[in-house]
Amino acid sequence: MIREIDSAQGAWLMVDGRRALNLCSNNYLGLADDIRLKDAAKAAINRYGAGPAAVRPIAGSLTLHRELEGAIARFKGVEAALALQSGFMANLGVIPAVVADGDFIFSDELNHASIIDGCRLSRAKTVRYAHADTDDLEKKLKVTPGRGRRLVITDGVFSMDGDIAPLPEIVEVARRYNAMVMVDDAHGEGVLGRDGRGAADHFRVRVDIEIGTMSKAFGVVGGYVAGSRDLIAMLKQNARPFLFSSASTAADTAACLAAVHILEDGGGLVARLWENAKYFQGRMRAAGYDLGRTQTPITPVMIGDAAKARELSDRLFDEGVFAQAIGFPTVAEGKARIRCMVSAAHTKEDLDFAVDAFIKAG
């Protein structure tokens, strides 16, 4: 069941007509309702209007699009970036532009659905390797014919379990077998690395392609790809979502730009997020809940049985906590869970309220 929201995203929401503590949102840093983003969006509408009117190669790029791409490139520490309509669109655009029939993709078995769909569209041969297992990755690379391009793809942070990809080992193995490395850092940016610069920055490693979204820690909507100037120049000629789908609106783009500037300036939001996550996870474990293998603020409360997970979610809602159950096919059968998302916007009192509700409902 998809519940109805009648308020801005924040620590608390109006859900199905009642006030509830929000543990469902990917709004890691609480920026979705930040006044600075809202003011930037309003000013952009007043200057540029409501819609982009056409695709960028035909109607042109807004000054805001160029400014956002420059800010993302600086923030990620790369030569260039390209803004797209969503993180999903970024994967659908980049993967088929980089590899094709006759090439090989090596994909973590728990990669996001947008990666899976991008691989299918590319027509390259996709080889799945065991989750976060670089030994298995190397075995697959070793036995694969040497002809064609090779692309290793992994999530930076896995959204259902909260664990982090072993990027240093992945990069090392890929280099030995002349393979490119692409990271979808949707859940790493704003969370890992210096002031939230992401998983690659967290490990101080360089990858060939970074995919990101503006809809989680940045609090808006949109996607991007970051990498070399040559990569971005090629994508402007070959990434179909860029070529054939209208650009992000001025309001969204301006709000995204404001969010990047906030992270560039620091300010403690990332530290507050981690402080809240450690506090909540510590109390939940003390209450006897299994949180799986998480290494990040993503907090999967492992239940197993899908019906029991749904029942617990309903009981939590009765207690004033919005925390949805997740089951098959989003996760494997028998691994249903309540996926809790802690935010920098939560207070300690909010988190205590949530844990007490879990204890009562459980």
DSSP string, 193-222: SGGG--HHHHHT---SEEEEESSSTT-S--
Residue 331 tokens, joined = 């996760």
Active site residue 346: no
114, 159, 215, 248: the catalytic one is 159
Residue 92 tokens, joined = 């659908």
Active site residue 187: yes
187, 202, 335, 346: the catalytic one is 187
Taking alpha carbons only, the member of 162, 130, 131, 165 closest to residue 290 is 162
Q: Could you report how far apart the first and last alpha carbons of the chain are, in Å?
A: 20
How far apart CA 195 and CA 304 sit, in angstroms, is 35
Give CA separation, 162 vs 53, 158, 189, 220, 340, in Å. Answer: 38, 5, 13, 21, 10
Active site residue 65: no
65, 76, 140, 216: the catalytic one is 216
Single-letter amino acid, residue 161:
D
Taking alpha carbons only, the member of 333, 350, 332, 330 closest to residue 342 is 350
Place of tokens 């299994």: 290
DSSP string, 62-79: -HHHHHHHHHHHHHHTSS
Active-site residue numbers?
A: 159, 187, 216
